[in-house]
Amino acid sequence: MKTTPEITAELIHAIPKSDLHCHLDGSLRLSTLLDLARRDGIDLGAADEASLKALLRAGEPCDDLVHYLKAFDVTCRVLQTEAALDRAAFELAEDAAAENVRYLEVRYSPILHTREGLRLDQVVNAVLDGLKRAERLYDVRTGVIICGIRNIGPETSLRLAELAVAFKNRGVVGFDLAGAEENYPAKDHSEAFRLILNNNINCTIHAGEAYGPESIAQAIHYCGAHRIGHGTRLKENGDLLNYVNDHRIPLEVCVSSNVQTRSAESFERHPFKFYLDLGLRVTLNTDNRLITDTTVSKEYHLAATRYRLSVEELRWVVVNGFKSAFLPFRDKKLLLRRVNEDFDAALEGERQRQADSRRGAARAPARAPSPASPKSAVPADPLDPTPAA
């Protein structure tokens, strides 16, 4: 009888994963942000990675969602050219592929990248070019979600919905509503979502992150959302929670981000495991790799360790991510078959690795530890796709 391996960082890295909720402008590399600023003569107020990370408060607790969103004022300053957008998109997909993310949906609002004169279609094409270039080099599939912004206004959302329609079947797989949630109800943007639904386009909406379950109800019943971004406060309305569960509406959960924005009081108080135990279709995602200082592997490892996931629960969350992808049914079916096969292979590889490690430890004679230099004593972090120095 085969033993069930322990869920380790190595196993998390090896399994196939998805990221359905990832913002382009919140997921740049620090080095790229600095390089783009230097090239375009932009003073970010920070001259090196350490000071820039501090300026962005990357991974640090924020007062609330509005405070968290201020970091995007910095990142968007360097994303105003086609070359910068192409590079950011390529590197995001490259970083995702390095940690075995097989499917990545990248979301952003093109209107935020037109300050220096780019047309909306130029913005979209630049991002698509970067993603497609990464697809040709790496084992990752990508799609774009165009975002309306709650606090910019319904007229702009409608314009961006028209853009999503124009790029349907050309790389854009969905439409979203992002931005400050409180005082900016989703129902005000219902005309944009009516256009999206009339054109048979997938849609997801940020809801239940900085406002209560009423926001989630609006997203579903006024705007026809097929998925919910975050959904942290869904637990406050049991009837709505059951509706979401019964209708298999996926939740794009971003645990670290939710704690950072105080949408959840702490990791312990986050409802992820509660939702999982009830059978909701929960998925794990990064939200913003840079601003939250995370990766997909880190989010999975955090969930596995803090919420004591079993291997089968881990598989359930992985499969949920691919089931919830904005992909055609036949493509999704083929992808899911491969994902399950590769999950089994990763599991067997980790089982063998742990067995070999135990045998080696049993055979090894006891000996005094030898001193090691600080650099050689630090192993490469399997949760960080960045190559070790």
The label of the residue with tokens 């192993």 reads 379
Separation between Cα atoms, residue 122 and residue 196, nearest integer Å: 21
Rounded Cα gap, residues 175 and 178, in angstroms: 10
Residue 371 in any domain: the answer is: no
Q: Note whether residue 164 is domain-resident.
A: yes
Q: Which residues contact 112 (CB under 8 A, 6 or more apart)?
A: 25, 72, 76, 79, 149
**Count of beta carbons in the 10 Å neighbourhood of residue 377:** 8
Q: Say what the pLDDT of residue 287 is.
A: 98
Q: Number of folded domains in the chain? A: 1
Return the pLDDT at 180. 87
- The pLDDT of residue 314 is 98
> What pLDDT score was predicted for residue 364?
64
Check residue 378 and give its pLDDT.
35
The verdict on residue 280 lying in a domain is yes
Does 206 map to a domain?
Answer: yes
Task: Encode 331-367: b = buried (16+ Cβ within 10 Å), e = exposed.
Answer: ebeebbeebeebbeebbeebbeebeeeeeeeeeeeee
CA distance 128 to 186: 27
221 domain-assigned: yes
- Give me the domain span that covers residue 73: 24-85+107-127+145-343
Task: Tell me the per-residue pLDDT of 34-82, one tens digit each, with 9 for 90 and over.
Answer: 999 999 999 999 989 999 999 999 999 998 888 998 999 999 999 999 9
Per-residue pLDDT, 363: 72
pLDDT the model gives residue 368: 52
Catalytic residue ranges: 209
Residue 3: the pLDDT is 79
* pLDDT tens by residue, 123-174: 999 999 999 999 999 999 999 999 999 999 999 999 999 999 999 999 999 9
CATH number of the domain within which 151 lies: 3.20.20.140
- Which residues of the chain are under the pLDDT cut of 50? 369-380, 385-389
pLDDT, residue 367, reads 55
**Bridging pattern class, strands 101-108 and 282-284:** unpaired
Q: How many CB atoms lie within 10 A of CB 142?
A: 26
Is residue 372 included in any domain, yes or no? no
Instruction: Give the pLDDT confidence score for residue 366 in this predicted structure.
Output: 54
Are the CB atoms for 201 and 167 separated by under 8 Å?
no
Q: Is residue 357 part of a domain?
A: no
In a domain? residue 306: yes
Identify which of 302, 338, 341 has the alpha carbon closest to the alpha carbon of residue 103.
338
